[in-house]
């Protein structure tokens, strides 16, 4: 900025250049729990604000770990250079066995070497810092779609699809392929050995022996072709077109401002009087009615039946439809509360009740959208 002295960084660094208000410390304590990173900004010796940065979890990550468990992976460790608070927040719902945070490239390399001493170790990474660990692992797997070139060169396997769950699919297919290959090898060798013994003792003439050997070869080849029928580790019977997945994801993106509007109302409500809060709540009720509810109704009417057909079973989307009903119930409660507040502007108890409803609605919407994204990913084509 021309003519302005800009200081950007952590609290201790910025505090040496500007007086940081005490409430910022409470914000920093909250961000450490939420797993976000806070960057303070000061301009010309005056505190200007705080930027909150957060890493979003890959949509397919929970499913990928569940599939890896099914394929026999016994111990899953999260190696990251992020702060421990951020790493533990991200890993909380992933069912990993161990979290190693604040790891340098040398630390990651040492962890992989130690794990390799106790058994076969698979390392998955996409950054330049992951390259040494990828090279040291028994099997290094790089995310090739958006990963660094160095990690792809150091790895043994490169996943061209930018999805972690494809690793479990590849492991499952590789194991099934090896099993069929070993069956073919031993069956072919065994039957050939029996034919040779029969021929050696005079029970099989040379001409018939040649025909038997050809029959054994054909049988082994036919058995090997079973690899073409290996079923993936997916619950869905059919696949959703990639374009449909993008469309559904775009619809969720269009609803992001609605969630931001809801968050803003939740943040402002405790410091407002009922009279001040009424216009804001009325506007929020209108936004939800015009933008959110039509989307949920369309999902239940058009999207869920199609997804249920892909998944199979009696009613696989019943729980998601129940979430829709709860969203509609909370909205009705919000509308009724706004009506009561308009009739009795001094009723602070109604304001507290509305605050509770907003918190519940925010929580269920975020959980519901995340669940939908994971389900859509699970039935999408590569």
**pLDDT tens digits for range 1-56:** 556 788 998 888 988 888 888 888 877 777 766 667 789 999 988 999 999 887 77
Encoded tokens for 192: 């050939």
Residue with tokens 């605050």: 355
pLDDT digits (tens, 9 = 90+) for 302-325: 888 888 877 766 678 888 888 888
Q: CB-based burial of residue 158 (10 Å sphere; 0-12 exposed, 13-18 middle, 19+ buried)?
A: middle
pTM metric for this prediction: 0.61
Give the C-alpha separation, 56 to 278, whole Å: 34
Q: 77-79 and 37-43: which strand pairing?
A: unpaired
Cα 218 to chain centroid, rounded? 45
Give the C-alpha separation, 281 to 270, whole Å: 13
pLDDT digits (tens, 9 = 90+) for 95-133: 788 889 888 889 999 999 999 888 889 999 888 888 899
The stretch 252-272 carries a mean pLDDT of 90
Q: How far is CA 275 from CA 271, 334, 351, in A?
A: 12, 16, 10
| Cβ contact 130:123 at 8 Å | yes
Pick from 49-53, 94-98, 223-227, 258-262: least confident:
94-98
Instruction: Give start and end residues of each alpha helix (H) in 46-129.
Output: 61-70, 84-91, 105-117
Encoded tokens for 380: 């999408």
Q: Phi, psi (5° rounding) for residue 250?
A: -65, -35
Pick from 19-28, 336-345, 360-369: least confident:
19-28
Give the C-alpha separation, 126 to 154, whole Å: 10
Per-residue pLDDT band for 356 (boundaries 50, 70, 90) equals very high
Q: 157-159 and 37-43: which strand pairing?
A: unpaired
Of 335 and 150, more confident = 335
Whether 85 shows a pLDDT value over 80: the answer reads no
């Amino acid at each position: 900025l021309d003519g302005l002295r800009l200081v950007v960084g952590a609290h201790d660094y910025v505090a040496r250049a500007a007086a940081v208000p005490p409430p910022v410390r409470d914000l920093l304590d909250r961000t450490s729990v939420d797993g976000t990173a806070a960057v303070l900004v000061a301009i010309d010796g005056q505190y200007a604000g705080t930027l909150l940065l957060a890493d979003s979890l890959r949509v397919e990550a929970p499913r990928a770990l569940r599939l890896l468990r099914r394929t026999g992976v016994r111990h899953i460790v999260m190696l990251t250079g992020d702060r421990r608070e951020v790493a533990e927040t991200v890993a909380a719902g992933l069912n990993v066995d161990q979290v190693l945070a604040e790891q340098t490239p040398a630390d990651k390399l040492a962890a992989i070497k130690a794990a390799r001493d106790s058994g076969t170790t698979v390392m998955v990474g996409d950054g330049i810092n992951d390259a040494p660990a990828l090279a040291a692992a028994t099997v290094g797997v790089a995310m090739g779609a958006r990963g660094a070139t160095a990690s792809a060169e150091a790895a043994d396997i490169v996943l061209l699809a930018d999805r972690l769950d494809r690793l479990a699919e590849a492991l499952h297919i590789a194991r099934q392929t090896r099993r069929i290959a070993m069956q073919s090898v031993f069956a072919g060798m065994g039957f050939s050995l029996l034919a040779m013994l029969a021929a050696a003792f005079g029970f099989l003439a040379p001409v018939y022996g040649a025909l038997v050997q050809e029959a054994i070869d054909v049988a082994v080849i036919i058995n090997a072709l079973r690899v073409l029928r290996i079923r993936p580790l997916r619950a869905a019977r059919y696949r959703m077109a990639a374009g449909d997945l993008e469309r559904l994801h775009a619809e969720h993106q269009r609803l992001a401002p609605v969630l931001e509007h809801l968050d803003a109302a939740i943040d402002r409500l405790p410091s407002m009087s009922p009279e001040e809060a009424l216009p804001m709540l009325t506007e929020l009720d209108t936004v939800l009615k015009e933008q959110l509810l039509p989307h949920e109704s369309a999902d239940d009417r058009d999207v869920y039946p199609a997804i249920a057909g892909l998944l199979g079973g009696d009613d696989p989307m019943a729980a998601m439809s129940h979430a829709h009903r709860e969203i509609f119930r909370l909205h009705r409660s919000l509308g009724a509360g706004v009506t009561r507040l308009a009739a009795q502007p001094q009723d602070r108890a109604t304001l507290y009740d509305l605050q509770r409803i907003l918190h519940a609605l925010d929580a269920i919407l975020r959980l519901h959208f995340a669940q939908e994204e994971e389900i859509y990913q699970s039935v999408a084509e590569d």
